[in-house]
Chains A and B, each alone.
Chain A
Amino acid sequence: MRRHRFVPLAAVLLWSLSAGSLGPGLAQEEESPLISGADLLDGLKNPERWLMYSGDYTGQRHSPLKQINPDNVRSLSPRWTFQTDTTARGRGFESAPLVLDGVMYVTGPNGFAWALDARTGRPFWRYRRELPNNLTYGASAPVNRGFAVLRDRLFMTTLDAHLVSLDMKTGTVLWDIEMADYKLGYAGTVAPIVVNDKVIVGISGSDYPTRGFLDAYNPTDGTRAWRLYTVPRPGEPGSETWPNSAETFERGGGGTWVTGSYDPESNTLFWGTGNPNPDYNGDDRKGDNLYTCSLIAVDATTGKLKWHYQFSPHDTHDWDSNHVPVLAERTIGGERRKVVMVANRNGFFYVIDRTTGKLLQGTPYTNSTWAREIGPDGRPIVLNDGSKGCIPDNWGGTNFMPPSFDPDLGLFFVTARETCASYIPEKQVVTPGRFSMGGTVRRDLDKAYGALRAIDVSTGARKWEFKYATPSFSGVLSTASGVVFGGDNEGNFMAFDARTGANLWHYQTGSGLWGAAPITYMLDGRQYVVVGSGSAVTAFAVP
């Protein structure tokens, strides 16, 4: 046998690195931090980090940072812009970047992602997924909402309904698993969230004849730990709400395409589910159609359903309940409660006991509604199913753009959409891999407008609003200094006084803020606020 002759590894490494880091007068450099489960539980405690879609597990999107405040926000100015050179036609830049250790990890449309220098916006690496040319839902909404992170790994969904893990340092694919067959209508757009050493991820595609689910994967190798379908199979609890369950359960809809929240104390995930399919025609699915248009509470270890609350039973308006559920502790009726709050696409704002799933409060936050009120049994008392005109359009009273919640002020900030639409159901021939909307929507655009609204969560009453010219899609961020950031379809990124709603600052980004969720972090002693718009990501700071 031949013998190899080579210098042992350790010697080679010493030789090659000694000039750089080991001698006197050389920078003592730390290893890159590995993000642990404890770091994720800490959420926004480390001011230099933004580690998940909503910043922390509560979904409040409320930062403790105070450098940018109502007095100095007028001098906020852009520090850098990163042009991604890729756009989602007809949509927006919907991703929330992650920040840690001075590096920003951001996903974009069309399967792109980047690692950027958080000081300058200059790239370290770029990832691009090779996508098939026969995408289904992923072709109509070629967006992505962001990464999740654990240890030295990033996790990202893809438009061909895969989940990939990337090496944080290089963007190299570590593993790649298929969640569902994209040819049937599935796609991945949601930002995953890591909980208890599992990657929790949902699916898009309820405008196609698909079946929603929530999945948990092992971050090390991508093996699946559990799956919870949002449409039960025949005989399972909930299947009685689907009269033709055996024929429809595999195409009932109920996507899970917006990142949920997590309560570590009860080890519970809270996740919104999408519309039943076909969207506008419910003739072959008479009944409530559980668990579509609902909030589901899920055991994070087993994936078992703990409870559900359905916002829009038997929906025929495409009112997905895919919103960030916001967790908080509030005093309601003199009693301290752990609650979950949702401003729903159907125009109502809900406060739900998150232990029991019982509705505590349901109040309209939009002027146009389809229901008079939410009854004592938790069901809406519907006035107008849409055939008589002028109820919220299919994009809803708000949509997936994240709201924020200031626990000190008790105010919930949401981008509201005032629209007026009527719905015309049509017969739908359901074909796998083809859109199955089941009708059309007529909108009266003359009356439409948008607004940033502050809801007093103790009563559900509107505290203030700032009107936008058109129904807008911007996510919201608030900070402990009393500033709220939002935006409009016309491209303005804006700052407001959280107490009064007074507009303090605006900057024209050049493209509508559409589903973008601002984030904020400290770096080198300076607070940055970052938002995506069009095909660009821009970072702002005060001088």
Chain B
Amino acid sequence: MPLIVCALILIAAVGAAGQGTTVRSDDPAAIAAGGAMFRERCSDCHGADAKGGRGPDLTGIWTNEGSDQRVVQIIRSGVPGSIMPPSSAPDTELRAIVAYLRSISTARAETSRGDAERGQQVFATLCTTCHRINGRGGPLGPDLSRVAASQSNEVLTRAIRQASASFTTGYEPVTLVDRDNRRTRGTRKGEDAFSIQIMSAQGRLQGYLKSNLREVIRDEQSLMPDFTPDRLNDDALNDLLAYLARFRVNEPPRRQAPAGDRN
């Protein structure tokens, strides 16, 4: 079916289902239309089943992020600092997508048996050199300030236990070999046919022309070690998960102008 016709049908379906601009999240027609739109526009990053790919798992977002309106806002404005772009699609379409996501939501309040205070110590000892939370920590690995808002404990556990099983976009490990056979390891920030941009293991942003490199090796091993149970036992892991769960939204501290400062 031509794309335009397809889109018209979708809009018609949403319009009929939603009676103008209001879309009920339990409306089957809206859910069906939203599902089609999701697969067309979102699944590249979030996976056809919305369980995450390059982008996060969306089946658990109601656990942590709250309201439908909040999810609509995120789709509308995109996520600064990520590859999630803003959307200019009509509200009815966004609401249909949200209705679909709610219909497949597996959300349940995810509790961790761990102790967040102890988890903070684990984080400070093992993670903070490379990962940051709310502006503190190293730059080499992804910022974890809101990772628990979009990833289940199961996904997080896998990422900690088997760090090399998958890589977040922008953090793929590479080794660059120059003409003198010197090697530089780092994470890949960008690449085109002629150049590659990395953050080296020392945390330095560095661009390379491929013509100056003998080889670009796509490492299978992450710069992060697998934290297997002999390195990090289950109790400590649960503590860490409990700590990560504290930071649902990445809101850096914003300060108001001091009161009474009207001079």
Chain A residues with a Cβ under 8 A of chain B: 2, 4-9, 12-13, 15-17, 19-21, 25-32, 101-103, 115, 117-120, 122-130, 162, 167-181, 222, 224, 227, 229, 233, 250
Contact = CB atoms under 8 A, between A and B. Distances in A.
Contacts of A128: 78, 80-81
A124 B205 contact: yes
B206 to A, nearest CB: 7
A115 B185 contact: no
The 6 closest A-B pairs by CB, nearest first: A20-B185, A117-B207, A128-B80, A27-B182, A169-B139, A4-B236
Given A25-B182, A124-B199, 20 more contacts: A4-B232, A4-B235, A6-B231, A12-B231, A25-B183, A28-B182, A29-B204, A30-B204, A115-B205, A118-B207, A119-B195, A124-B197, A127-B80, A128-B80, A129-B80, A169-B199, A169-B204, A176-B252, A177-B257, A227-B263
B178 to A, nearest CB: 7
Output the residue of B182, B235, B263 with the most chain A CB within 10 A.
B263
Interface residues of B, number: 63
A177 B82 CA distance: 22
A119 B190 CA distance: 13
A28 to B, nearest CB: 8
Given A9-B126, A12-B126, A124-B199, A17 B225 contact: no
Given A29-B184, A172-B132, A179-B257, A123 B190 contact: yes
Interface of B: 77-78, 80-81, 118, 121-122, 125-126, 129, 132, 135, 139, 143, 170, 175, 178, 181-186, 189-192, 194-195, 197, 199-207, 209, 221-225, 227, 230-233, 235-236, 239, 252-258, 261-263
B189 A27 contact: no
Contacts of B185: 17, 19-21
Nearest to A131: B77
B200 to A, nearest CB: 6
Contacts of B78: 128
Contacts of A28: 182
A9 B262 contact: no
Contacts of B239: 4
B178 A27 contact: yes
Contact of B195 (A27, A120, A178, A229): A120
Contacts of A175: 135, 252-253, 255
Contacts of A172: 81, 132, 135, 139, 143
A222 B118 CA distance: 30
Nearest to B235: A2
A373 B206 CA distance: 54
Nearest to B199: A169
A120 B209 contact: yes
A150 B262 CA distance: 29
26 contacts: A5-B236, A6-B122, A6-B231, A16-B222, A16-B225, A17-B201, A19-B175, A20-B184, A21-B183, A26-B182, A27-B182, A28-B182, A31-B204, A101-B204, A117-B195, A122-B192, A128-B80, A129-B80, A169-B203, A170-B139, A172-B132, A172-B135, A175-B135, A178-B256, A224-B258, A227-B261
Contact of B253 (A7, A32, A103, A176): A176
Contacts of B257: 177-181
A221 to B, nearest CB: 9
A168 B203 CA distance: 11
Nearest to B181: A25
Contact of A32 (B183, B186, B204, B207): B204
